[in-house]
Amino acid sequence: MESIAKEIESFRDSFDSILLASLSLDNLPHLSYSPLLRYEGVYHLYISEVAQHFANLRANPDHVQVMFIQDESQSPMLLARTRLTYDVSVEFLPRDEYFEKVYDSFESRVGNGGGVSMVRNMLDFHLVKLHFGQGRFVKGFGQAYTISKDGAISHIGGKGMPHAIPHK
């Protein structure tokens, strides 16, 4: 499983944004995305108070899922796109020295284009730390893995693999 762990890490580290599923104040699912900031192996979001997911994360910090998914143009099979999901909890962090280090790292990785430098000092934006819980990595048919909270990886065995096609 060591090679799968390295593949998961490499896949996750190839993204500069993340899909984010949060629970609304009315307990409805909400899907959005956020820039993804990394610093010393820790993952963060940088979100504005005007984004719907801001209020959702404040109200339901322990009911969040994130997804990393292979671009359609990069997948040889649309039905088997590589994807990685995690249950996460979030923690809002203060604007302090740590914030500066995280944002410096983000700017150096993605550059100053696309408003990255402009939004750094906007006070309605907040740094949010992701705490990864259980996850799942799927890289094709019959190649699915669960990831435990402590990072242990195990293959998900299918019933009657390879996939059986039902007869009518």
User: What pLDDT digit, counting tens, does each position of 99-139 carry?
Assistant: 999 999 999 888 776 678 888 889 999 999 999 999 999 99
Mean pLDDT of the chain: 90
34 close to 18: Cβ distance less than 8 angstroms: yes
- 163 — pLDDT class (breaks 50, 70, 90): very low
Element (H, E) at 89: strand 83-93
133 close to 149: Cβ distance less than 8 angstroms: yes
36 close to 45: Cβ distance less than 8 angstroms: yes
**CB-count burial class (<10 Å; 0-12, 13-18, 19+) for 122:** exposed
Which residues are registered as beta bridge partners of 35? 17
What pLDDT, on a 0 to 100 scale, did the predictor assign at position 87?
98
pLDDT digits over 64-110, tens only?
999 999 998 888 788 889 999 999 999 999 999 999 999 999 998 88
Its sign, for the CA torsion 134, 7, 111, 75, is negative
- Percent of the chain residues topping a pLDDT of 90: 74
Name residues whose C-beta falls within 8 Å of residue 159's C-beta, 6 or more positions apart in sequence: none
Tell me the pairing of strands 125-138 and 153-155. unpaired
What pLDDT, on a 0 to 100 scale, did the predictor assign at position 158?
62
What pLDDT, on a 0 to 100 scale, did the predictor assign at position 113?
67
- Read off the pTM: 0.87
- 159 — pLDDT class (breaks 50, 70, 90): low
Assign a CATH topology to domain 2-155.
Pnp Oxidase; Chain A (2.30.110)
Whether 152 has a pLDDT exceeding 60, the answer reads yes
Of 46, 41, 31, 43, the C-alpha closest to 115 is 46
Whether 167 has a pLDDT exceeding 50, the answer reads no
What pLDDT, on a 0 to 100 scale, did the predictor assign at position 155?
94
